Amino acid sequence: MNEELSVSYITMPQGFKANGVSAGMKCPDPANINNDDPKSSYLDVGMVYSDKLCNVAGVYTSNLVKGHSLVRSMGIIEGTGKAKGIIVNSKVANAGVGAVGIEDADRVAECASSLLGCDKSEILTASTGVIGTRLPLDKITSAIPSLVHGLSVAEECAHNAEYAMMTTDTVPKEVSAQIELTDGKTVTISGMAKGSGMIHPNLATMICIFTTDCGIESASLKKMLQKAVKYTFNRVSVDGDTSVCDMVVVMANGASGVSVTEGTEDYQIVEDALCKLSEDIARMLAADGEGATKFVEIEVHGAKDEKDAKLIVTSVARSPLCKTAFFGEDANIGRILTAVGYSGASFDPEKVDIRLSGLLMYKDGAAVAFDEDEASRLLAEHDIKVDITLYEGDAYDRMFTCDFSYDYVKINGSYRT
């Protein structure tokens, strides 16, 4: 990736339009909206659309229970692998409502496709929010005409699409990169995502949409996306809860006139860019985890094998005791050691080194004296790093997470009501 752009929005790749409107789900009374309200507090239906049919690929939640809007999209992506657009709504997850859930998602797609003059099977659907409640179809279908008629390449409309899918996110998460290929031609990739609770591999309460004007054949696009998510989206844990609605979708419309083919240097350049943007978004998701005051990156070196490496970073990232200690800026190495110990990984407890933001605090199976002032200073930073070194093999892994704060409890103690 040659240039990561300072301004990022989903319609930067050629041929994509977007929009976001209020269907009155987040804010039932439009009279209550005023100019001071953040757009994420009332926009609740968003769309990304390409007139040119896209090759699409997706990865989906591993939860056995899957949201109905997601199941419908999976059918399309794994079926034809083609789509023109995606409609996302927040507030209601369209999950756990029975057979009617897929019909509801289908109605939403149909309503948009009839206005756009395309087939309803070319419109993907995604929903995020409360589980067990039916989509308010009357509200959504009433809002779709203004959603569709307002579709535009304009930056503001693109941001509105992002705001429309945010739930407890406090900041939008948008990335873009312009990529120069070997012959000097450029393609563009953009991504936008929402978090920010019920996040744990694989995947996360997370919807991420990538657009690119690069032409990529369907099967290759799928492989590229799977590679991109592996150590990025699948290494974010906010609270250990894997949601039912989550997916990452990439839409490639080829509108730049430039295509890449697997096995070429250009393909690798595009793949690297998608991996880098995925990592950027994964970091943003962790940093904006519900109630988060810290971004925490956990790395393990020298694990016996990949499986053990992943067990260890997952165990620490998931531990409420480690996460509350990060919140308290408490250099509690014992909790990290404990989480490593019960991870299920096999290692010699007498040969473990642990560093907190670079400071060696545990070596050869015993705590070492460290400078408490230095530790306090390091833990007061927003970004905290945990390095765990075993001496069992060469395997490495990492995970992005955040701390557990009062606000996590506050946000989640009364989310539904």
Q: Any idea which residues carry the catalytic annotation?
A: 205
* H helical segments located in 117-246: 137-149, 155-165, 218-230
Does 62 help bind a copy of itself (rule: CB under 8 A)? Answer: yes
* Closer residue to a copy of itself, CB minimum distance, 173 or 323: 323
- What is the smallest separation between the CB atom of 344 and a copy of itself, expressed in angstroms? 9
d(CA 212, CA 190): 6
The site that binds a copy of itself (CB under 8 A) totals a number of residues, namely: 69
What is the phi/psi pair of residue 217, to 5°?
-65, 145
Give the Cα separation of 19 and 16 in Å (integer): 11
Neighbours of 263 (CB within 10 A): 9
Out of 4, 119, 241, 279, point to the residue binding a copy of itself (CB under 8 A).
Answer: 241
Please, what is the end-to-end C-alpha distance for the chain in angstroms? Answer: 44
Options 8, 319, 357, 401; binder of a copy of itself; rule CB under 8 A = 319
Token representation of residue 157:
């409309």
What would the two tokens of residue 192 be? 């936008």
Q: Give the one residue of 324, 391, 393, 396 binding a copy of itself; rule: CB under 8 A.
A: 324
Identity of the residue, 204 or 251, whose beta carbon is nearer to a copy of itself in the bound complex: 204
User: Does residue number 300 form part of the binding site for a copy of itself (CB under 8 A)?
Assistant: no
The sign of the dihedral angle between the CA atoms of 222, 193, 43, 93 is positive
Tokens 């800026």 correspond to 329
In whole angstroms, how far apart are CA 386 and each of 30, 149, 237, 332? 46, 49, 15, 12
**Are the C-beta atoms of 324 and 404 separated by less than 8 Å?**
yes
Q: How far is the CB of 364 from a copy of itself (least distance, A)?
A: 7
CB 40 within 8 A of CB 163: yes
Q: What residues between 171 and 200 interact with a copy of itself by CB under 8 A?
A: 197-198, 200
Q: Residue 395 CB, nearest distance to a copy of itself (Å)? A: 17
Q: How far is CA 398 from the centre of its chain?
A: 16
Contact string 395-414 vs a copy of itself (x = CB under 8 A): ---------xxx-xxxxxxx
Least distance CB 299 / a copy of itself (angstroms):
19
CA angle 57, 62, 65 (to 5 degrees): 110
Work out whether 95 is an interface residue with a copy of itself (CB under 8 A). yes
Listed ranges 30-38, 109-117, 213-221, 344-352: which one lies at the site for a copy of itself (CB under 8 A): 344-352
Query: Which residue from 70, 93, 105, 311 is in contact with a copy of itself, where contact means CB under 8 A?
Result: 93
Interface of this chain with a copy of itself, residues 374 to 393, rule: CB under 8 A: none
- What's the token pair of residue 243? 């949601």
Ranges within 104-143 binding a copy of itself (CB under 8 A) = 130-133
Minimum Å distance from CB 257 to a copy of itself? 43
- Cα dihedral: 99, 103, 109, 113 (round 10): 150
Query: Site residues (CB under 8 A) for a copy of itself?
Result: 62-66, 93, 95-100, 130-133, 197-198, 200, 239-244, 318-321, 324-325, 327-328, 330-335, 337-342, 345-347, 349-350, 361-362, 364-367, 404-406, 408-417
